[in-house]
Amino acid sequence: MAKTAIVTGAGTGIGKAVATALLKDGWNTVFCGRRLAMLEQAIAEAGPTEARALPVACDISSATRVDEMFETVAEAFGRVDLLFNNAGMGYKSTPIDEIPVEVWNEVVGVNLTGSFLCARAAFRAMRSQSPMGGRIINNGSVSAYAPRPGSVPYTATKHAITGLTRTLALDGRPYDIACGQIDIGNALTDMAAPMTVGVPQANGSIAPEAVMDVKHVADAVLHMASLPLDANVLFMTVMATKMPYVGRG
């Protein structure tokens, strides 16, 4: 029997690559995002597969919409075996005193509250289904460890995701729910394309950065997802080898 995965932010970038990889690997895969047309296009581009793809438009910052999505998934597949909490957003490099409160609330609403709401619904489903259990993988980012200049909202939420991951990994133990986090550095997507031209550095300069194929992220998530529930990758960092992260620039 095919397992069921839910991927948020699946219309573009990392989410699209991961959802496509899961689908091709035999997972019934729910492509979740705000824009239904983009989800349908992503599924069409994946091509024919034995597993089933289901596009579901959902604003993950809304508790009601998230609960409705999980009800739709339950009706379609009967269970949830994997949630990839991927949907997220950022904001242009800006000093904290110039960041509108509305921007802060929007970034927190998607990156943190959205991840909480989806994890909450997945945990509930995994805890009550038979056989019990499942896996939640959170998209952290290397910003969960080291900030970029002017990135207060994004970096704060990614640090918070680490707390969410650790607590879910602990609280999921009695219910065979494993939780891990993948921290991604400079995967080449439309959002990361400016890195190839130049982005702000800690020393105030603008410089291009090394990037990697997003396929490597999809392969990493697929490995995490393929483990039995008695094994878990708690944290994994996948990054462009030469990006300015490990050292001082």
29 near 22, Cβ under 8 Å? yes
Q: Which residue stretches of 78-188 are H helix?
A: 101-108, 114-128, 152-171
pLDDT in tens, 86-138: 999 999 999 999 999 999 999 999 999 999 999 999 999 999 999 999 999 99
**The one catalytic residue among 158, 175, 215, 245:** 158
pTM for this one? 0.95
Q: Is residue 120 part of a domain?
A: yes
Q: Is residue 249 part of a domain?
A: no
Q: What is the pLDDT of residue 193?
A: 77
175 is catalytic: no
91 is catalytic: no
**The one catalytic residue among 3, 16, 91, 154:** 154
Q: Is residue 87 part of a domain?
A: yes
Q: Is residue 244 part of a domain?
A: no
Q: Is residue 245 part of a domain?
A: no
**Residue 226 DSSP label:** H
Domain containing residue 27: CATH number: 3.40.50.720
> Which of 84, 80, 77, 8 is closest to 42 using CA atoms?
8
230 near 29, Cβ under 8 Å? no
Q: Is residue 153 part of a domain?
A: yes
136's enclosing H/E stretch is strand 134-139
- What is the number of structural domains in the chain? 1
Q: Is residue 23 part of a domain?
A: yes
Q: Is residue 124 part of a domain?
A: yes
* 3-state SS track over 41-83: HHHHHHCCCCCCEEEEECCCCCHHHHHHHHHHHHHHHCCCCEE
pLDDT in tens, 45-92: 999 999 999 999 999 999 999 999 999 999 999 999 999 999 999 999
Q: Which residues span the domain enclosing 109? A: 4-239
pLDDT in tens, 213-248: 999 999 999 999 999 999 999 999 999 999 998 876
